[in-house]
Amino acid sequence: MDELRIWNTRVVDPGSATVLEHGTILVRGDRIAEIAEASGDPPDGALDVGGRTVLPGLIDAHTHLSSDTSRSPGFGPPRQLKGEDPRPRELGWFVLAKSCVAFLEAGITTVRDVGCYDDEGIVMRRAVELGLTPGPRIRTCGRIISATSPGGWQFGTMYHEADGPWEMRRAVRTQLRRGADFVKLMSTGARSVEREDPEPAQMTREEIAAIVDEAHRIGLRVAAHAEGLEGTRLAIEEGVDTVEHGLALHRAPELLALMAERGQVLVPTLTTFHDLAERFAHEWVPRLVDQAKRQLEEAYETLGAARDAGVAIAMGFDSGPPGANLWELVRIAEGGLGAMAALAAATSGAAAAVGIADAGRLREGALADLVVIDGDPVADPRILLRPRRIRLVLKDGRVVAGRDLDGPAIGGEVLADDELEAPTGPPSPCCGLSPRE
């Protein structure tokens, strides 16, 4: 079995909030075989990483794999000029492949796709598994299960509309048949659809219960889109595994207590509220922008309340462009959790959300997904926004991205040249990508 010994590294495991100065990690096959103090001379063939920090591979628990770049300025192809040939639809696959590389270069080794058009996430998962493109480990929901709704009209092939408990069960079975790894349901309407009020529940309790029962019986986890409190309540009480957005939860401490007790994970997606309230406000129906401003405040209130209640929190960017995902980590850190807990949200917390117990940790026996970084992300998580600082990325024990390690380790000094700007590009499709014709 292939072995790689990483030498002279600072091992940061956010899931246990521990730091091992001057450590060594032995990777054997796709697993971490040993983590220990590095003492004496490095063994032959060891990779000396110059004292740099190593983190578990980062995980985005709420992304939308999409070839649609209409809202991703600077990431997709240049704007089409009049007189050019029409652009074939198939170019979209290259955009998706580029997205997969961009995730790896940002240190992201796993993504959970929570809804895409035309099964693009399922195809990309296969492409990565078959080695046709480098990319992160992908877990996808197939199509989002929704009641018949205005959102179903807007989002077209991203949704599977169904009504009544038995149609819901069939919708779950259909996603499994299609290739889904887990199920996502809309417990409330979406903030991005003018004719949906996200406050009331959009599904009945019986419908949500039928989805959860059907999915869990056949071994699939369930994610619930949840904005207003009533739908969020039904989703939590009926036993979904993750609550997406969940911004109203600060109003219901008893639900946060229940989540903490049952291990249900909150994915706060702060960035998507910044998108609708601020970054893309000029493109939106004014009522939705006003609503998003209120939701943005609530989302931060819920972040603090969830932390205090002991709820597991996972990082989910729900925005774009691909590779700028760690803005969400920075927002979680600066929104009150601090750097170590935000790093945990992007590693062990997100692994819990995705349902991969042996990812997101630096410990013996875990999957060998690792990121070597210049500088100390615990002291300043914003260094993760600097692509030049991501020096080596391993997924399943194999090098999948990174720059040369020969240069001197960059300390805490500011690099002026390459910090990613605040994300530009598509917000969540649940907040506004145009539907496919």
Rounded to 5°, angle at Cα 18 from 25 and 3? 10
**Nearest distance from residue 87's CB to Zn ion, in Å?**
26
Residues 6+ apart with CB under 8 A from 237: 205, 258
Sheet holding 182-186, edge to edge: 159-161, 144-146, 182-186, 221-226, 242-245, 265-267
Size of the site for Zn ion (CB under 5 A): 3
Instruction: Quote the CA–CA distance of 56 and 368 in Å, as a whole number.
Output: 8
Q: Which amino acid is at 388?
A: R
Q: Which is nearer to Zn ion, 186 or 340 (CB)?
A: 186
User: DSSP state, 106?
Assistant: T
**Nearest distance from residue 318's CB to Zn ion, in Å?**
4
Q: Which is nearer to Zn ion, 105 or 318 (CB)?
A: 318
Q: Which is nearer to Zn ion, 333 or 430 (CB)?
A: 430
Contact set for Zn ion, span 404-433 (CB under 5 A)? 428, 430
**Nearest distance from residue 317's CB to Zn ion, in Å?**
9
> x/- string (CB under 5 A) for Zn ion, residues 83-112?
------------------------------
Q: Which residue's entry shows tokens 């309340």?
A: 305
Q: Which is nearer to Zn ion, 13 or 227 (CB)?
A: 227
Q: Which is nearer to Zn ion, 105 or 328 (CB)?
A: 328
> x/- string (CB under 5 A) for Zn ion, residues 370-409?
----------------------------------------
User: DSSP state, 313?
Assistant: B
SS3 155: helix
Q: Which is nearer to Zn ion, 71 or 382 (CB)?
A: 71
SS3 30: coil
Looking at the DSSP bridge assignments, the partners of residue 32 are 27
Q: Single out the residue of 113, 318, 328, 369 in contact with Zn ion (rule: CB under 5 A).
A: 318
Token pair of 376 as six digits: 């100390």
Q: Establish if 60 lies at the interface with Zn ion (CB under 5 A).
A: no
Instruction: Quote the CA–CA distance of 358 and 355 in Å, as a whole number.
Output: 9
**Nearest distance from residue 35's CB to Zn ion, in Å?**
35
**Nearest distance from residue 284's CB to Zn ion, in Å?**
16
Sheet holding 137-140, edge to edge: 58-63, 108-113, 137-140
> In the complex, which residues of this chain contact Zn ion (CB under 5 A)?
318, 428, 430
